[in-house]
């Protein structure tokens, strides 16, 4: 369901008034419309379907070697303050007869990131989907992100980075596999 842009514009206009601004002044006259459209785009992950994102891009492959896609850029909004967090996601998995079309991993990251999120949940969602959709023997996901809610308000720590990881299957059960993943993502 698409958000009601007109309703969002009215709410943003009211927010501007509550902040003590004049929403009719030149610089703000189109701000409610722009903000409504921006939030619609920044949360379009709610309106995406996983099966459509994957689009049958699972391919038979007999390899049992680790597959890694590093440095997938991500942009999301913290669900606590609705401020951006941004960073990189690294995904590794060991196939069990099927591999993903590589762009589908990036598309999955975007689908879950373009929602109000917690980094911890985002990390888990990605690892669960990779594990379940291709029947991987194991999955490792690491996200490194900077949170504007921590950088520009609250404790105001500009150089902090949050790192989360999720390991499933052989990545959880086998220390050597987990260490190989961490070494290959360069962390």
Length in residues, the chain: 187
Catalytic residue among 73, 80, 120, 179: 80
Whether 134 is catalytic is no
Catalytic residue among 9, 78, 89, 125: 78
Catalytic residue among 9, 117, 119, 134: 119
Percent composition of the chain: helix, strand, coil (DSSP 3-state, to 5): 45, 25, 30
Whether 18 is catalytic is no
Catalytic residue among 73, 79, 120, 132: 79
Q: For residue 88, give the H/E element and its range.
A: strand 84-94
Catalytic residue among 81, 124, 133, 180: 81
Beta bridge partners of 58: 100
Catalytic residue among 89, 117, 125, 147: 147
Whether 90 is catalytic is no
Report the alpha-carbon distance of residue 123 to residue 142 in Å, rounded.
7
Whether 79 is catalytic is yes
* Residues with catalytic function: 78-81, 119, 147, 149
């Amino acid at each position: 369901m698409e958000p009601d842009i007109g309703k969002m514009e009215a709410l943003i206009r009211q927010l501007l008034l509550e902040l003590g601004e004049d929403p009719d002044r030149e610089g703000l006259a189109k701000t409610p419309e722009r903000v409504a459209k921006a939030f619609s785009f920044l949360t379009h992950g709610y309106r995406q379907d996983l099966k459509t994102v994957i689009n049958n891009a699972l391919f038979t492959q007999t390899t049992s070697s680790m597959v890694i896609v590093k440095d997938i850029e991500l942009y999301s909004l913290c669900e606590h303050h609705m401020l951006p967090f941004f960073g990189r996601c690294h995904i590794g998995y060991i196939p069990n007869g099927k591999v993903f079309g590589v762009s589908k991993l990036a598309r999955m990251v975007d689908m879950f990131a373009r929602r109000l999120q917690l980094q911890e949940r985002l990390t888990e969602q990605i690892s669960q989907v990779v594990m379940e959709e291709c029947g991987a023997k194991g999955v490792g996901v690491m996200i490194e992100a900077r949170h504007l809610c921590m950088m520009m308000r609250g404790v105001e720590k500009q150089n902090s980075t949050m790192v989360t990881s999720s390991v499933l299957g052989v990545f959880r059960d086998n220390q050597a596999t987990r260490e190989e993943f961490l070494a290959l993502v360069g962390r």
